[in-house]
């Protein structure tokens, strides 16, 4: 398998199948040099002195087109050569293919390629009038040749009429397919743990021929989880189609390989990729997307991955497998720290006037260091603050905030808080931890403890009554 080099200068014929302009039955029209004509044949030139080209509609006089709805007759009003001049890069390998057919019997024509004024015959074709002959070949542009002529020259026609003979259709002369991939992440970042990222990949064929059996694969970045049902073709053939793990879809998620797979192009199916035309006919190419969720393990790290496309060049005598890779898409993920709080009372039943001692611990389970950690535990009116000992950090009794500061991944801080019970009843209060980083799990950021404060023993049990 080979990877194509830097993008070559695209070579591709204009109007290769003679589909323009549309004709009824048959018409003899000016070639592309006759710019004053309101209706002319795009792309093609002729050596005929009248500059006329003859086009036929498929089915006229019982002759079907080999490709599309129209074809050309090499001899219009006189024996001539039909050609196009194309800019080329020396050393480039160009491929050609064509259909040829006789009109009244066996007709013969030659294919000439080379610099204008120094053409070289490549091959002759002789075909009868019962079927189209199909031919392929290749041509390497010689050194110094920056303009190449691709020409069909009439040799002979059955019946001897100089205005008939040598039908042509399905002409291609140009460079191999060349797929370029561009990958983006939406939003661009930096992002947070738990965010959803949309990866979008655009494939454009900057070559001449179609990119056949086009298959795009993209490994889901490590530290993310594929979001089921998010595969979508955004632009290009079958745009708007959504796919998932179904056998008849154009795209699917391969759980074993942890990658998404898209079969792209015209005629793509669940079994194989289709054909992506060049950007001359499909400028935007085709664009696909899928989504992932950022896992906790990616906190403080970078997400990175590259998409890959495999496709075939089928212009030659045998398929040539090719691959292309996208740019590396890198997304920065902000640090994350999962803070957990545990709160306990040394005694859960005390009497009025006694001291209630709380022990509060805050633990960072990562995956990154936490900064600006604060635990808030505001005492209710029935408790009077006495003292607080925190390691590390400073406690403010007015606000109930314990400024822990930085807490490394895996580290724990502890606060011992003492208060005097001043009123009987059930007293509940809550400790809540916060930090500067995204907390992947906020369900464990708070803890509540309830203490029963009883009056003198001679009185009733208010705690039991409230229960």
Considering the domain architecture, whether residues 58 and 137 belong to the same structural domain is answered as yes
Residue 418: pLDDT over 60: yes
Contact 6, 30 (CB under 8 A): no
Considering the domain architecture, whether residues 153 and 249 belong to the same structural domain is answered as no
Residue 244: pLDDT over 90: no
Q: What pLDDT, on a 0 to 100 scale, did the predictor assign at position 390?
A: 87
Token pair, residue 2, equals 């080979």
Q: State which of 174, 196, 225 marks the end of a domain.
A: 174
Tell me how far CA of residue 466 lies from CA of 424, 425, 454, in angstroms. Answer: 11, 8, 12
3-state SS assignment for residue 60: helix
Q: State which of 134, 154, 174 marks the end of a domain.
A: 174
- pLDDT band at residue 352 using 50, 70 and 90 as cut-offs: very high
Residue 288: pLDDT over 50: yes
Q: What pLDDT, on a 0 to 100 scale, did the predictor assign at position 464?
A: 53
Residue 186: pLDDT over 80: yes
Q: What pLDDT, on a 0 to 100 scale, did the predictor assign at position 1?
A: 44
* CA angle (10 as vertex; 4, 14 as ends), nearest 5: 140
Q: What pLDDT, on a 0 to 100 scale, did the predictor assign at position 247?
A: 39
Number of compact structural domains in the chain: 3
Domain that holds residue 454: 337-466
**Cα dihedral sign, 231-234-238-242:** positive
- Does the N-terminal peptide bond of residue 306 adopt cis geometry, omega within 30 degrees of 0? no
The CB-side HSE value for 228 (13 A sphere, CA atoms) comes to 3
- pLDDT band at residue 450 using 50, 70 and 90 as cut-offs: very high
Q: Which of 305, 281, 284 is nearest to 294 (CA)?
A: 305
CATH of residue 130's domain is 2.60.120.260
The residue-averaged pLDDT of 417-430 equals: 94
Q: State which of 299, 316, 332 marks the end of a domain.
A: 332
- pLDDT band at residue 444 using 50, 70 and 90 as cut-offs: very high
- pLDDT band at residue 241 using 50, 70 and 90 as cut-offs: low
- pLDDT band at residue 3 using 50, 70 and 90 as cut-offs: very low
Q: How many residues does the chain have?
A: 467
% of the chain surpassing 90 pLDDT: 85
| Sheet with 355-367, side-by-side order of all strands | 337-345, 355-367, 412-421, 383-391
Least confident range of 34-43, 117-126, 243-252, 312-321 = 243-252
Considering the domain architecture, whether residues 187 and 135 belong to the same structural domain is answered as no
Considering the domain architecture, whether residues 316 and 411 belong to the same structural domain is answered as no
Q: Could you read off the pLDDT of 153-169 as tens digits, one per residue?
A: 999 999 888 778 999 99
The residue-averaged pLDDT of 326-340 equals: 97
The residue-averaged pLDDT of 416-427 equals: 95
* CA angle (407 as vertex; 401, 409 as ends), nearest 5: 145
Considering the domain architecture, whether residues 313 and 352 belong to the same structural domain is answered as no
Q: What share of the chain is helix, strand, coil (3-state, %, to 5)?
A: 5, 50, 45
Token pair, residue 420, equals 């005097």
The residue-averaged pLDDT of 20-26 equals: 96
Tell me how far CA of residue 49 lies from CA of 80, 111, 188, 225, in angstroms. Answer: 9, 20, 61, 68
From CA 231, how far away is CA 221, in angstroms rounded? 15
Q: Could you read off the pLDDT of 247-260 as tens digits, one per residue?
A: 346 899 999 999 99
Token pair, residue 116, equals 């204008």
Q: Is residue 9, in this structure, part of any structural domain at all?
A: no
Q: What is the mean pLDDT of the chain?
A: 92
- pLDDT band at residue 39 using 50, 70 and 90 as cut-offs: very high
Tell me how far CA of residue 349 lies from CA of 279, 361, 460, 465, in angstroms. Answer: 79, 21, 15, 14
């Amino acid at each position: 398998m080979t990877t194509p080099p830097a993008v070559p200068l695209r070579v591709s014929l204009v109007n290769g199948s003679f589909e323009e302009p549309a004709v009824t039955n048959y018409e003899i029209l000016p070639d592309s040099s006759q710019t004053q004509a309101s209706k002319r044949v795009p792309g093609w030139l002729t050596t005929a002195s009248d500059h006329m080209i003859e086009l036929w509609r498929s089915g006229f006089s019982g002759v079907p087109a080999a490709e599309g709805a129209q074809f050309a007759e090499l001899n219009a009003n006189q024996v001539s050569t039909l050609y196009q001049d194309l800019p080329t890069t020396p050393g480039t390998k160009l491929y050609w293919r064509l259909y040829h057919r006789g009109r009244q019997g066996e007709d013969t024509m030659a294919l000439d390629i080379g610099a204008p004024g120094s053409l070289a015959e490549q091959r002759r074709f002789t075909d009868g009038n019962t079927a189209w002959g199909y031919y392929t070949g290749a041509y390497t542009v010689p050194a110094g040749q920056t303009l190449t002529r691709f020409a069909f020259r009439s040799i002979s026609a059955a019946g001897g009429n100089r205005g008939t003979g040598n039908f042509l259709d399905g002409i291609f002369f140009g460079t191999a397919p060349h797929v370029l991939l561009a990958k983006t992440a939406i939003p661009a970042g930096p992002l947070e743990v738990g965010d959803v990222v949309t990866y979008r990949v655009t494939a454009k064929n900057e070559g001449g021929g179609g990119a056949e059996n086009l298959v795009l694969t993209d490994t889901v970045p490590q530290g993310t989880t594929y979001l089921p049902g998010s595969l979508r073709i955004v632009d290009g053939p079958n745009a708007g189609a959504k796919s998932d793990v179904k056998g008849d879809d154009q795209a699917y998620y391969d759980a074993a390989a942890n990658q998404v797979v898209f079969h792209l192009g015209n005629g793509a199916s669940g079994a194989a990729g289709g054909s992506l035309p060049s950007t001359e006919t499909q400028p935007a190419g085709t664009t696909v997307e899928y989504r992932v969720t950022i896992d906790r393990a990616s906190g403080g790290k970078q997400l990175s991955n590259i998409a890959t496309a495999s496709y075939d060049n089928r212009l030659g005598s045998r398929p040539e497998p090719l691959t292309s890779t996208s740019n590396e898409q890198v997304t920065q993920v902000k640090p994350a720290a999962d803070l957990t709080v545990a709160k306990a009372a040394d005694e859960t039943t005390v009497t009025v006037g006694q001291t209630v001692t709380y022990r509060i611990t805050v633990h960072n389970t990562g995956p990154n260091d936490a900064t600006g950690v604060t635990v808030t535990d505001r005492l209710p009116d029935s408790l009077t603050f006495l003292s607080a000992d925190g390691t590390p950090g400073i406690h403010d009794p007015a606000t109930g905030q314990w400024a822990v500061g930085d807490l490394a991944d895996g580290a724990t801080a502890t606060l011992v808080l003492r208060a005097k019970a001043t009123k009987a009843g059930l007293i509940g209060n809550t400790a809540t931890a916060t930090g500067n980083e995204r907390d992947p799990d906020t369900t464990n950021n708070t803890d509540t403890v309830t203490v029963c404060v009883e009056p003198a023993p001679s009185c009733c049990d208010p705690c039991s009554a409230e229960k």
